[in-house]
Amino acid sequence: MKKLNFQDLLIFENEDFFLVNKPPFVSTLSERHDDKAENMLRLAKSYCSDAQAGHRLDKETSGVLIFAKHPEAYRHIAMQFEHRQVTKIYHAVVAGVHDFQGILVNLPILPLKIGVVKIDRAEGKEAETLFNSLEIYKAHTLVECIPFTGRMHQIRIHLQCLKAPIVMDALYGGPAIYLSEFKRKFKLAKDTEEQPLISRVALHARALNFALMNGERLTVEAPYPKDMEAMIRQLEKNR
């Protein structure tokens, strides 16, 4: 992977915060098993030495990520996350045709030691996500996901519960996505093997709405990265 230029990732900045469009395959914080790998916090600290991450995204997930520039700003954003005053909007491409209009999933989540989660009504922690279909394609759907809580893999397992797993999400039953599945007259070059349209869980943190230090609310949007944009373009072209 080529070296990231942090300033190319910036999508908003003021004296208290900066927000970036996190690329896929980069961790938010350092990984326990590989603390030398590039991560967003290390990059952020090279840009602003006091930077602290306001929240985190899974390694494969792209999209909007907020950093505080100083301790007071960090407290300000951390309290908003704690009191559920931040609105997070994600976009996911899921398997199957689904017409979700204000579908609320309220199922408790229990993390397991093997790095996955399960629904557990007895021991799980409260988890709530709202889903809306944005675009319906031939065999897939682009879904807006608004989590009201911040549990691990929350969107992924709640979509699995709706029988709409995210494509390429093998952990939660999401199948690979191939152009041959929906493109008419698809032809593969001789002696080649078809590759999936995207090589990661197709989940993108699209927007974040939060209050600045002066109380004014702001929404910051992150454009799709190239892999997600290319996949969606193929889905639109071959409806």
In the chain, where the domains are located? 6-237
**Token pair belonging to 165:** 């797993």
What mean pLDDT do residues 36-46 have? Answer: 90
Catalytic residue among 16, 35, 58, 191: 58
Question: How much is the pTM?
Answer: 0.95
Q: Calculate the CA 19 to chain-centre distance.
A: 15
State the residue for tokens 């602003």.
48
Residue 58 annotated in active site: yes
Helix (H, G, I), strand (E, B) or coil at 187: coil
DSSP state of 155: H
Residue 156 token pair: 């992924």
What pLDDT digit, counting tens, does each position of 173-216 carry?
999 999 999 988 888 888 899 999 999 999 999 999 999 999 99
Task: Give me Rg for the CA atoms of the chain.
Answer: 19
Whether 35 shows a pLDDT value over 90: the answer reads no
User: Would you state the structure tokens that stand for residue 39, as one six-digit string?
Assistant: 């991560």
The correct CATH number of 6-237 out of 3.30.479.30, 3.30.750.24, 3.40.190.10, 3.30.2350.10 is 3.30.2350.10
pLDDT digits (tens, 9 = 90+) for 64-93: 999 999 999 999 999 999 999 999 999 999
Alpha helices in the chain (DSSP H): 6-9, 40-47, 71-82, 154-161, 226-237
What mean pLDDT, rounded, does the chain reach? 95
Residue 46 neighbours by CB under 8 Å, 6+ apart: 6
